[in-house]
């Protein structure tokens, strides 16, 4: 075997096919207002928002090793910023969502400086404490309804678009667009130099450090970017919910436990994992949610079984068996002229 016949590449036939299929699916999804009903569009919108949250959490926990159980802090913060900026600032909702992202990043800086002093389990608990601090703080703001919560005035919702279908289409596209942006951002980040550093940190933090990677700075960037995007997703979520209260906004169940469930069953540390996890979560929810507590039992059982039988999640299982990667991130050695001998 001649070495010159070999080269290193990221792409593969499966990845190319996935890119084509993905682009086709995206076009079909963009066209959803012309083929889907109102309820289906709303459900898909919600699915996209969960997918975005899951992808962000996966970037943080799966790559940077920042296992946060306090991401609801930013979801809730985003929701409250949407309400505050539109009600008191008179800002158009879309502008408020963008501005909320900036504010989320600004808030994340001091929070990161504080909680990055903690390691492992202490870090996880610390993030949760921060989220509780956020919840209790917003419960004291009487202008936003305090512990009672507040509704988004009808006039603000109607300013998005005059007609009901116009609003529905817009909020669907916003959800779809935000997910595409989040996944694209995660993908591009992971393909960049920072991504290489992150992958190294994921595999072995000590070794990565000894190779000269600035671990603290890399994690800091990931945390702040994730917080900013999570804040924007939070604002979008509460634009759909129309009503906010501290318990709903900073719900650890809705915005973190379900998201961790999605990432863990889908496959942590992969871009494909959260996509699969979100689909499974929604199939379970749409079929079982009316069964009451049984639904939550089923979710728990699914999580336990997958953690025991497939610790790397469903995508980890598939990748292990077929060695495919839909989002080409890792490098492979290929022969330049594929010969029968291989």
Residues within the interface to other proteins (CB under 8 A): 25, 28-29, 32, 35-40, 42-44, 46-47, 136, 139-140, 142, 145-154, 157, 164, 240-243, 245, 247-248, 251, 253-254, 279, 282-283, 285-293
Minimum CB separation from other proteins for residue 236, in Å? 14
Closer Cβ to other proteins, 84 or 224, answer by number: 84
Give yes or no for a contact between 208 and 197, defined as CB atoms under 8 angstroms apart: yes
Q: CB-wise, 223 or 327, nearer to other proteins?
A: 327
Closer residue to other proteins (CB): 89 or 153: 153
CB of 254 to other proteins, least distance (A): 5
Closest by CA to 196, choosing from 68, 66, 61, 63, is: 63
Between the two ends of the chain, the Cα-to-Cα distance in Å is 9
Cβ contact 116:59 at 8 Å: no
Residue 218 near residue 197, CB atoms below 8 Å = yes
Nearest to other proteins of 168, 220 (CB atom): 168
Q: Are 220 and 114 in contact (CB under 8 A)?
A: no
Q: Which is nearer to other proteins, 154 or 308 (CB)?
A: 154
Shortest separation between residue 181's beta carbon and other proteins, angstroms: 19
Rounded distance between C-alpha atoms, residue 210 and residue 197, angstroms: 12
Q: With respect to other proteins, which residue has the nearer C-beta, 248 or 324? A: 248
Q: Least Å distance between CB 226 and other proteins?
A: 21
Task: Output DSSP code: residue 71.
Answer: T
The contacts found for 332-337 with CB under 8 angstroms, 24 or more apart, are 332/8, 332/9, 332/10, 332/12, 333/6, 333/7, 333/8, 334/6, 334/7, 334/8, 334/9, 335/5, 335/6, 335/7, 336/4, 336/5, 336/6, 336/7, 337/5
Counting Cβ atoms within 10 Å, is residue 287 exposed (0-12), middle (13-18) or buried (19+)? exposed
Q: Of the two residues 231 and 245, which places its CB atom closer to other proteins in the complex? A: 245
- Minimum Å gap between C-beta 213 and other proteins is 37
Least distance in Å: CB of 73 to other proteins?
16
Q: In whole angstroms, how close is the CB of 198 to other proteins at the nearest point? A: 29
């Amino acid at each position: 075997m001649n070495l010159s016949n070999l080269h290193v590449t990221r792409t593969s036939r499966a990845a190319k096919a996935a890119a084509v299929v993905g682009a086709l699916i995206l076009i079909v999804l963009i066209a959803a207002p012309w083929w889907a009903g109102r309820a289906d569009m709303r459900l898909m919108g919600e699915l996209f928002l969960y997918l975005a949250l899951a992808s962000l959490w996966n970037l943080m926990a799966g790559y940077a090793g920042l296992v946060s159980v306090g991401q609801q802090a930013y979801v809730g913060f985003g929701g409250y910023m949407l309400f505050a900026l539109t009600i008191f600032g008179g800002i158009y909702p879309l502008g408020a969502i963008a501005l909320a992202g900036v504010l989320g990043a600004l808030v994340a800086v001091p929070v990161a400086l504080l909680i990055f002093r903690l390691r492992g389990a202490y870090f996880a608990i610390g993030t949760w404490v921060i989220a509780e601090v956020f919840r209790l703080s917003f419960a004291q703001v009487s202008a936003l309804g305090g512990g009672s919560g507040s509704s988004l005035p009808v006039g603000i919702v109607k300013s998005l678009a005059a007609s009901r279908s116009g609003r529905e289409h817009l909020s669907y596209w916003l959800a779809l667009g935000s997910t595409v942006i989040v996944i694209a951002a995660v993908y591009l980040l992971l393909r960049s130099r920072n991504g290489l550093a992150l992958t190294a940190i994921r595999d072995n933090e000590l070794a990565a450090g000894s190779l000269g990677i600035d671990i603290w700075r890399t994690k800091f960037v990931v945390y702040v970017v994730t917080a900013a995007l999570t804040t924007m997703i939070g604002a979008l979520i509460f634009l759909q919910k129309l009503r906010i209260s501290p318990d709903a906004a900073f719900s650890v169940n809705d915005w973190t436990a379900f998201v961790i469930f999605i990432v863990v069953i889908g496959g942590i540390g992969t871009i494909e994992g959260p996509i699969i996890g979100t689909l499974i979560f929604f199939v379970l929810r749409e079929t079982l949610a009316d069964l009451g507590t049984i639904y939550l039992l089923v979710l728990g059982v699914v999580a336990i079984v997958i953690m025991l039988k497939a610790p790397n999640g469903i995508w980890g299982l598939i990748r292990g068996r077929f060695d495919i990667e839909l989002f080409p991130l890792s490098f492979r050695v290929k022969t330049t002229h594929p010969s029968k001998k291989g």
